[in-house]
Structure 1
């Protein structure tokens, strides 16, 4: 088995154990044995990997996107994990996104203006700017997803 295969299997196991074996079976529609094969390091299961729809279902229920982050790491990509959990689904769509986008941009500009006031951006100010930039990026991602939803229906 290649090194990346072993790495993915370890993260697949972590994902299943994070969710719990019984709930993982229910979410994926797979048996315990099948899920076990997806993370087994035995040679006979070396070419078996969890289907992406099953990974997505489990990562939705998990405390952390184990497999997605492993794939990103293998490609040298850094992910920004958004820990926010909304109380309700956002039904506002693109219009709500445009409002959120303008509000987030205003907050970023206010933070920037305050940070640059003395001519120097300190480490703490840079961290606050980065946090606002990441929040703005998340609004853009939400907007992209809403636009894709609207064009597919």
Structure 2
């Protein structure tokens, strides 16, 4: 088995274990034995991989998109994982977005103040500022979607 196949199988196993074997069986409609074959490194299962619909179902339930991230890494790409899950603020509407926006901006300013205190922004401080900026940007995107929805 080549390194890429082995890498995908390890991440498939991580995905199944993240969700749990019993819930994974229910979500995919596959038996424990079948799921085990998808991540087995034995020669007789070297060419068996989990179908993409099963991967999608498990990644929707998992804490992290293990297989998708592995595929991206194998192709020299990197994923930007939004831990909030899409549309996590659906019910609040624009008013909730305005509150979230001001909270995120306050967090960004607090992080900036802490970072600039010594007159130098280190690499780690820049990464934290970038993370806060990205979170602020996501709130603005959510707000835009809510405004578009309310305007018709």
Name the TM-score class by shorter chain: 0.5 to 0.7
Aligned to 1:78: 78
User: How far does residue 47 in structure 1 lie from its aligned partner after superposition?
Assistant: 1.6
Q: Secondary structure at the match of 1:79?
A: coil
Aligned residues: 146
Following the alignment from structure 1 to structure 2, what is the Cα–Cα distance between the partners of residues 30 and 142? 36
Following the alignment from structure 2 to structure 1, what is the Cα–Cα distance between the partners of residues 142 and 45? 38
User: How far does residue 18 in structure 1 lie from its aligned partner after superposition?
Assistant: 1.6
Tell me the alpha carbon deviations over residues 34-81 of structure 1, each in whole angstroms, 9 at most, x when there is no partner. Answer: 111111112222221111221121122222221122112212222233
**Cα 1:137–1:8, aligned 2, differ >3 Å: closer, same or farther?**
farther
Q: Which runs of 5+ in 1 are unaligned?
A: none
Following the alignment from structure 2 to structure 1, what is the Cα–Cα distance between the partners of residues 121 and 138? 24
CA RMSD of aligned residues (A): 4.0
Aligned to 2:55: 55
Query: TM-score with structure 1 length normalisation?
Result: 0.66
Following the alignment from structure 2 to structure 1, what is the Cα–Cα distance between the partners of residues 89 and 133? 21
Aligned to 1:122: 121
Aligned 1:4-153 pairs, distance under 5 A = 4-84=4-84, 89-91=88-90, 122-123=121-122, 126-136=126-136, 138=138
Q: Secondary structure at the match of 2:80?
A: coil
Following the alignment from structure 1 to structure 2, what is the Cα–Cα distance between the partners of residues 140 and 45? 47
Tell me the alpha carbon deviations over residues 82-130 of structure 1, each in whole angstroms, 9 at most, x when there is no partner. Answer: 22358x85446x989x979x8799779968x979x99x76126523431
